[in-house]
Amino acid sequence: MAKKDVPPRWDRKMQQRLARGEAAALGELYDRFASLVHGLAHRVLGDERAADGITREVFIHVWEHPDSYDPKQEPLRTWVATLTHRLAVQRLRATETAALAREGSGTTEELEHRVRRASVAARADYIVQSMPVPLRSALERAYFQRRDYRQTAADLGITEDEARRRLRLGLQLLSTAHDTEAPGAPPGYGGAV
Amino acid sequence: MNGPERFEAHDGDEEDNGPEGNGPEGKGDTPAHGSPPRIPLPRASVEDSGLPLPAPADLGVTAPPPAPPVLEHPVLKALLGAWALAACSPEEATAVEEHLGDCGSCADEARRLREAVGLLQRPESLDLDPGLRTRVLDTCLERRPPRIPVPDWAAAYDAETARLDALLQDFGDAEWHAPVRLRWFRSDAATSRRTTVAGVIAHLLGVDGLVAVALGLDDPLGDVPARQPTPAARTEALWRASHFPPTRFVRAPWREQSHSLVRTVSFTGGGAEKVPVSYGDFELPLHDAMLDRAFECWVHAEDIADAVDYPYDPPSPRHLHRMIDLAARMLPTALAHRRRAGLASPAHHRHLVAAGEPGRSLRLEIEGSGGGEWLIPLDSPAAKGSAEHEVAHVALDGVEFCRLAAGHVPPQEAAAGQVGDREAIRDVLFAAASLSRM
């Protein structure tokens, strides 16, 4: 997403329509972001019902507090992803903590490790989904289809130089999923998690 | 949706942690030579296929390549992504690994990129539970009641278009071009027209456009002339207008229009529900037209789902009920049309009554979710359905009734329990099938 002074029109309009209490806007918001929200929540929590619950919480939050989103700060998509991530990680930590207290097996350290791993995995998903299509297609070919960079270049109709560049850049972006665990660090969603 | 391969502007994420840049023309200052790597190399994760990775870490040890090319630092650095993904030649991999032993910055990056590979996961193609949308939105609207609600009569259209859009979500070209046969009844005979999944969406776009036009929105046909302002003529016009068959690109305008219809009717609200929507040879008030479009959307979504072998559920009971109610309310007029056309039973049974008075009726009992009972006046649309004057009783399942009204089940074959006047029953079942159109 471009860092521009003028927030994208759709985001701004959507925020105004939600603030105005327009039910049709809520439906459009759901249609645009539900699969992103549900997918991220599912990656963190690994459970369909729990992901449904987070999806519900996220849309309730946006609908009840449309003013907590500032279109000048970041794209709506980023804001929604960040909110989802925060709620899902909270939920995971709460359920894991409850399980730890109940069963008494495992340590807090292991728990934090699991939470961190789930959190990074979800952020990585988001980065892959949000990266420019040319980078994503190159990574998909090289990783999932096992094409080497020369074949990738041929598949995509680009030079071998460009294929190498896209693979490296794509992985560099992806590696930022790890960078955000320290509090206050600039996270992968482009906003505070 | 993926556009054509194009490199979009991307702001500032390209990292370059060396002064030499990563282009191949940069000046290398660290020639590769044959010292072994100092750092252990993490293996890429192989989670998705049985194919073995060409383990680069092993290659250098077990099979020293004949003559590793002498590559310079910038070249090797540029190769790191491909190397981390095991997507370069064994010679290149060896050269990279030897270089990593000498070059701290490349070694750091190599480690980070290898770890990043471990984060690549196949996107989980989760089918969102289509019922979740209604549940989530309902909860939201309870917590904060909307100042501008979606009218009741537009809720089915809102839900059905959302369900169809979700079905289309993961379609690739093969699905978009899968053949679909549109089926309906004309003059008591089954008719069909061949198209594709994308063609069906173009059809929905064109016919929903009738509502858009009635509301003063843009006509999706634009300058394309249609021979008549009917659903079929508009569809044929849209199909003909393009030199190529419709593609996946029809999805966005269809979805945009459906969102814009829901938005617009929310603002026009209750006062607009009677606005007439012309279908060329007949009219429906806006609230019924929106139900009709919801019904068509579901019926065609099922056609599409069948064509690509996906499961597809019927609408929620409350929406299904409204759709059945619309069809039941349209039956008396359809019967009158058929009688005028000489298709319905002759008049000797008829028992004409003054408008608004109870007349000879058929009890239509719809079973299952969304069902109910309707008394259909048989002799005149102006008569009132009456239990006293009931001459026949038909019972069938809600979804079966909708398939009949959609022209997907021939009236002779509709699985209906029947008691009473056989001719009346036959007339009503054929009238139901005659509600269908392209």
Residues on chain A touching B9 (C-beta within 8 angstroms): 2
Domain span at residue A151? 132-193
β pairing state of B384-397 and B189-196: unpaired
Q: Which of A149, A156, A180, A189 to mutate to test the interface with B (most CBs of B within 10 A)?
A: A149
Determine the 3-state secondary structure of B281 from DSSP.
Answer: coil
Phi, psi of B348 (to 5 degrees): -65, -25
Which of these three, A130, A150, A166, is where a domain ends? A130
Phi, psi of B41 (to 5 degrees): -100, 120
pLDDT tens digits, residue range A78-100?
Answer: 999 999 999 999 999 999 898 88
The type of residue at B356 is G
If asked whether residues A169 and A90 sit together in one domain, one would say: no
Chain B residue with minimum CA distance to A117: B119
A35 reaches B (C-beta below 8 A): yes
Degrees to nearest 5, angle at CA A168 with A167 and A173: 100
| pLDDT exceeds cutoff 60 at B43 | no
The chain-wide mean pLDDT, for chain B, equals 84
Lowest mean pLDDT among B113-117, B232-236, B336-340: B336-340
If asked whether residues A53 and A123 sit together in one domain, one would say: yes
If asked whether residues A11 and A84 sit together in one domain, one would say: yes
Instruction: List the beta bridge partners of residue B397.
Output: B367
Question: What is the per-residue burial (b if ≥16 Cβ within 10 Å, else e) of A81-92?
Answer: bbbbbebbbebb
Give me Rg for the CA atoms of chain A: 19
If asked whether residues A37 and A117 sit together in one domain, one would say: yes
If asked whether residues A138 and A181 sit together in one domain, one would say: yes
Both tokens of B420, joined, read: 């009473």
Q: Pick the more confident residue, B64 or A144.
A: A144
Chain A residue with minimum CA distance to B121: A125
Both tokens of B93, joined, read: 């991999």
Phi, psi of B384 (to 5 degrees): -100, 135
| Interface contact A175-B165, CB threshold 8 A | no
A49 Rama sector, left if φ>0, alpha if ψ -120 to 50, beta otherwise? alpha
If asked whether residues A147 and A187 sit together in one domain, one would say: yes
If asked whether residues A73 and A21 sit together in one domain, one would say: yes
For chain A, what percent of residues have pLDDT higher than 90?
Answer: 74
User: B226: distance to nearest CA of chain A, Å?
Assistant: 31
Residues on chain B touching A117 (C-beta within 8 angstroms): none
Whether B438 and B296 have beta carbons less than 8 Å apart is answered as no
Give the B window 36-55 contacts with A, CB below 8 Å. 48-49, 51
Q: Which of B11, B136, B165 to mutate to test the interface with A (most CBs of A within 10 A)?
A: B136
| Interface contact B82-A173, CB threshold 8 A | no
A156 reaches B (C-beta below 8 A): yes
Distances, alpha carbon A156 to alpha carbons B5, B13, B107, B139, B238, in Å = 8, 22, 29, 45, 33
Chain B residue with minimum CA distance to A163: B82
Whether B264 and B217 have beta carbons less than 8 Å apart is answered as yes
| pLDDT exceeds cutoff 50 at B54 | no
If asked whether residues A86 and A166 sit together in one domain, one would say: no
| pLDDT exceeds cutoff 80 at B103 | yes
In this complex, the residue of A55, A172, A178 whose CB is nearest that of residue B136 is A55
Chain B residue with minimum CA distance to A3: B11
| Cβ-based neighbour number of residue B406 at 10 Å | 25
Whether A53 and A83 have beta carbons less than 8 Å apart is answered as no
In this complex, the residue of A23, A31, A121 whose CB is nearest that of residue B119 is A121
A39 reaches B (C-beta below 8 A): yes
A157 reaches B (C-beta below 8 A): yes
pLDDT at B415: 77
If asked whether residues A70 and A16 sit together in one domain, one would say: yes
> How many CB pairs lie under 8 A apart between chains A and B?
203
Which of these three, A95, A114, A130, is where a domain ends? A130
pLDDT band at B8 (very low <50, low <70, confident <90, very high): very low
If asked whether residues A32 and A121 sit together in one domain, one would say: yes
pLDDT at B377: 93
Residues on chain B touching A52 (C-beta within 8 angstroms): 129, 132
Query: Cα B18 vs. chain centroid, distance in angstroms?
Result: 48
In this complex, the residue of B136, B137, B144 whose CB is nearest that of residue A64 is B144
Chain A residue with minimum CA distance to B165: A31
| Interface contact B81-A167, CB threshold 8 A | yes
| pLDDT exceeds cutoff 50 at B34 | no
A183 reaches B (C-beta below 8 A): no
| pLDDT exceeds cutoff 70 at B21 | no
Residue listed under structure tokens 């012309």: B278
pLDDT tens digits, residue range B246-305?
Answer: 888 999 999 999 999 999 999 986 678 889 999 998 999 999 999 999 999 999 999 999
pLDDT band at B70 (very low <50, low <70, confident <90, very high): low
Residues on chain A touching B79 (C-beta within 8 angstroms): 164, 168
Degrees to nearest 5, angle at CA B253 with B252 and B256: 85
Q: Pick the more confident residue, B342 or B199.
A: B199
A166 reaches B (C-beta below 8 A): yes
Lowest mean pLDDT among B78-82, B267-271, B338-342: B267-271
* Three-state helix/strand/coil letters over A105-166: CCCHHHHHHHHHHHHHHHHHHHHHHHCCHHHHHHHHHHHHCCCCHHHHHHHHCCCHHHHHHH
| Interface contact A39-B126, CB threshold 8 A | yes
Q: Pick the more confident residue, B402 or B124.
A: B402
Chain B residue with minimum CA distance to A56: B136
Whether A177 and B119 have beta carbons less than 8 Å apart is answered as yes
User: Which run of H or E residues covers position B408?
Assistant: none
pLDDT at A104: 79
Q: Which of A22, A61, A143 to mutate to test the interface with B (most CBs of B within 10 A)?
A: A143
Walk me through the domains of chain B, giving residue ranges and CATH numbers.
16-122 (no CATH), 130-308 (1.20.120.450), 324-434 (3.30.1050)
| Interface contact B78-A2, CB threshold 8 A | no
User: A91: distance to nearest CA of chain B, Å?
Assistant: 18
pLDDT band at B319 (very low <50, low <70, confident <90, very high): very high
| Interface contact A60-B140, CB threshold 8 A | yes
pLDDT at B69: 58
| Interface contact A60-B139, CB threshold 8 A | yes
pLDDT at B348: 58
Query: Could you please report the per-residue DSSP string of A57-82?
Result: HHHHHHHH-GGG--TTTS-HHHHHHH
| CA–CA separation, B419 and B21 (whole Å) | 86
pLDDT at A8: 87
- Please report, for the domain that includes residue A174, its CATH number: 1.10.10
CA atoms within 13 A on the CB side of B415: 6
User: A191: distance to nearest CA of chain B, Å?
Assistant: 15
| CA–CA separation, B349 and B73 (whole Å) | 97
| Interface contact B116-A177, CB threshold 8 A | yes
Total tally of structural domains belonging to chain A? 2
Q: Which of A67, A127, A166, A172 to mutate to test the interface with B (most CBs of B within 10 A)?
A: A172
pLDDT at B25: 41
If asked whether residues A68 and A81 sit together in one domain, one would say: yes
Mean pLDDT of A1-25: 83
Burial class (CB in 10 A: 0-12, 13-18, 19+), B417: exposed
Q: Report CA torsion sign: A20, A21, A26, A27.
A: negative
Give the B window 160-179 contacts with A, CB below 8 Å. 162, 165, 169
Report ipTM (2 d.p.).
Answer: 0.85
pLDDT tens digits, residue range A97-155?
Answer: 988 888 877 888 888 898 999 999 999 989 998 899 999 999 999 999 999 999 999 99
In this complex, the residue of B119, B141, B255 whose CB is nearest that of residue A174 is B119
Both tokens of A169, joined, read: 């850049």
Q: Pick the more confident residue, A67 or B49.
A: A67
B139 reaches A (C-beta below 8 A): yes
- Please report, for the domain that includes residue A105, its CATH number: 1.10.1740.10
Distances, alpha carbon B410 to alpha carbons B357, B365, B424, B426, B432, in Å = 32, 19, 17, 12, 10
The separation between the first and the last C-alpha atoms of chain B, rounded to the nearest angstrom, is 29
Burial class (CB in 10 A: 0-12, 13-18, 19+), B332: buried
| CA–CA separation, B424 and B392 (whole Å) | 7
B6 reaches A (C-beta below 8 A): yes
Which of these three, A130, A157, A183, is where a domain ends? A130
pLDDT tens digits, residue range B123-178?
Answer: 666 678 888 999 999 999 999 999 999 999 999 999 999 999 999 988 999 999 99
Residues on chain A touching B132 (C-beta within 8 angstroms): 34, 38, 52, 55
If asked whether residues A28 and A119 sit together in one domain, one would say: yes
pLDDT at B113: 95
A50 reaches B (C-beta below 8 A): no
The chain-wide mean pLDDT, for chain A, equals 88
| Interface contact B8-A134, CB threshold 8 A | yes
Query: Could you please report the per-residue DSSP string of B7-58?
Result: -----S-----STT-SSTTSPP-S---SPPPSSPPPPPP--S-SPPP--HHH
pLDDT tens digits, residue range B192-248?
Answer: 999 999 999 999 999 999 999 999 999 999 888 888 899 999 999 999 887 677 888
For chain B, what percent of residues have pLDDT higher than 90?
Answer: 61
Q: Pick the more confident residue, B35 or A49.
A: A49
pLDDT band at B38 (very low <50, low <70, confident <90, very high): very low
- Which of these, A166, A133, A154, A131, lies nearest to B5 by C-alpha position? A133
